[in-house]
Amino acid sequence: MTAPASVYLDHQSAKPTDPRVVEAMLPYFGERFGNPASLHAVGDAATAALGEARLRLASALGAASAKEIVFTSGATEAANLGISGYCMRNRRQGTHVIISEVEHISILNIAKYLGKNGFEVSRVPPDQFGRISPEKVRARLKEDTLLVSVGWASNEIGTVQRLGDIAEALAESNAVLHTDAVAVQSQLPIDLESCGAHLVSLSSNDFYGPPGVGALYVRSGVKVGPVMLGGGQEDGLRSGTENLPGIVGMSLAAEIAARETPADGARMSELRDRLVEGVLASIPDAHLNGHPTERLPGNAHFRFDGVEGESLLLSLKDKGISAATGSACSSKTLEPSRTLISCGLLHEEAHGSLEFTFGRWSQASDVDRVLEVLPAIVGRLRELSPIYRPKGPRDEVNT
């Protein structure tokens, strides 16, 4: 028996680096190894490469100026700089912060930190599909609201927010809008100038660039203070010698993404729709989480009555399939996903969640493989489960 080919459908967790990107990075480990801060010729070449990369990233993402891009070690650091850095720098103007309940765990924890350091944090619940309503944001605005953070899309359930409408709700206030754009990267086109946010956190890997690099977009005129202190790189906002190979890689990856995302997105939506239709048709008491249409092209997020998510993951792993779950049993805190709970699910329902995320190289055969094995996996776990009670059909048979 040969082992089945492995199927990777967890692109929200990690993406492979595009080979074109790897190739472009290689010289920066070798002959172009310089430090942009050095005053000699090797340093000058590095300074030039850094400037080019910044410009390339800014134009790929539709920023008005390269000065609006601050390179970081990833999206988490970008969010720390964007949220904490902004709030600490401007705390004399206000100490109230609003975040959505469907933020990524890193944003929830940054808000928690602010809450412990003199800020008041309000949280906006989503509707059952994971959408944040501008009215609910507006209802929480106060005179001293400094910042609002709403993720552009949910990395978990894939719901895409109407960011422009949320920005409009803040128009009359003094608050700036931060958005974590990671989930939409390589899924939907990004235009920073028109997106409505003042601060945007980005990761390199989510453009199929190298991990360990990210960037914060800071709209001109918005004042941020550093959270990482040192030699004053990145205009004083992010100290530490620049990760030049990574930055070069990220900027090329973003350029490729800007070009290829429309076609990638169309292909991923087709795969996603086939998976969703197939799963809902072949497995009873299966549900799609998130919004039926306003969702990322590459995201399919299910829950199955009476089945626990970690058990699903282990069983899929045995079949060579990589997926993700919002179940508590697979998390560090043993708490189920906040996103699922805030959409109105009960804990026991959140435990039964299973997430598939497609990527640039996903194929129809990946979907076929999942559809081939998942019904039996869910069926087996339900046979083991004392809480699974089938709906309708069973009762009709009995009567």
Stretch of 85-93, 192-200, 243-251, 378-386 lying at the interface with another protein (CB under 8 A): 378-386
According to the binding rule CB under 8 A, does residue 334 interact with another protein? yes
CA 73 – CA 198 distance, rounded (Å)? 20
C-beta closer to another protein: residue 174 or 331 = 331
According to the binding rule CB under 8 A, does residue 391 interact with another protein? yes
C-beta closer to another protein: residue 195 or 377 = 377
DSSP 337-388: PHHHHHTT--HHHHTTEEEEE--TT--HHHHHHHHHHHHHHHHHHHHH-SS-
According to the binding rule CB under 8 A, does residue 331 interact with another protein? yes
The single residue among 341, 368, 371, 372 that binds another protein, judged by CB under 8 A, is 341
Binding mask 298-327 for another protein (x = CB under 8 A): --------xxxxxx-xx---x--------x
Q: Which amino acid is at 1?
A: M
The side-by-side arrangement of strands in the sheet containing 69-72 is: 69-72, 214-218, 199-203, 176-180, 145-149, 96-100, 120-124
Backbone angles phi, psi at 274, to 5 degrees: -65, -40
Q: Is 343 a catalytic residue?
A: no
Window 130-159: residues binding another protein (CB under 8 A): 136, 139-140
According to DSSP, the β-strands at 214-218 and 199-203 are antiparallel
The single residue among 125, 211, 212, 236 that binds another protein, judged by CB under 8 A, is 125
The single residue among 344, 361, 363, 376 that binds another protein, judged by CB under 8 A, is 344
Q: Which amino acid is at 176?
A: V
Q: Tokens 């422009």 label which residue?
A: 164
According to the binding rule CB under 8 A, does residue 328 interact with another protein? yes
CA 193 – CA 185 distance, rounded (Å)? 16
C-beta closer to another protein: residue 263 or 329 = 329
Q: What's the min distance (Å) between Cβ of 132 and another protein?
A: 12
C-beta closer to another protein: residue 31 or 348 = 348
The single residue among 329, 364, 376, 379 that binds another protein, judged by CB under 8 A, is 329
Q: Tokens 């608050």 label which residue?
A: 175
Q: What's the min distance (Å) between Cβ of 116 and another protein?
A: 21
CA 376 – CA 355 distance, rounded (Å)? 17
Binding mask 99-118 for another protein (x = CB under 8 A): --x-----------------
Window 250-309: residues binding another protein (CB under 8 A): 306-309
Q: What's the min distance (Å) between Cβ of 101 and another protein?
A: 8
Calculate the alpha carbon distances from 141 to 136, 166, 306, 309 in Å.
9, 12, 40, 37
Backbone angles phi, psi at 324, to 5 degrees: -135, 165
C-beta closer to another protein: residue 277 or 318 = 318
According to the binding rule CB under 8 A, does residue 1 interact with another protein? no
Helix or strand (DSSP H, E) at 100? strand 96-100
According to the binding rule CB under 8 A, does residue 127 interact with another protein? yes
The torsion angle over the Cα atoms of residues 233, 151, 168 and 199, rounded to 10 degrees, is 0
Q: Which amino acid is at 128?
A: Q
Q: What is the binding site for another protein (CB under 8 A)?
A: 101, 122, 125-128, 136, 139-140, 306-311, 313-314, 318, 327-332, 334, 336, 341-344, 346-348, 351, 383-389, 391-392, 395
Instruction: Please give the positions annotated as active site.
Output: 329
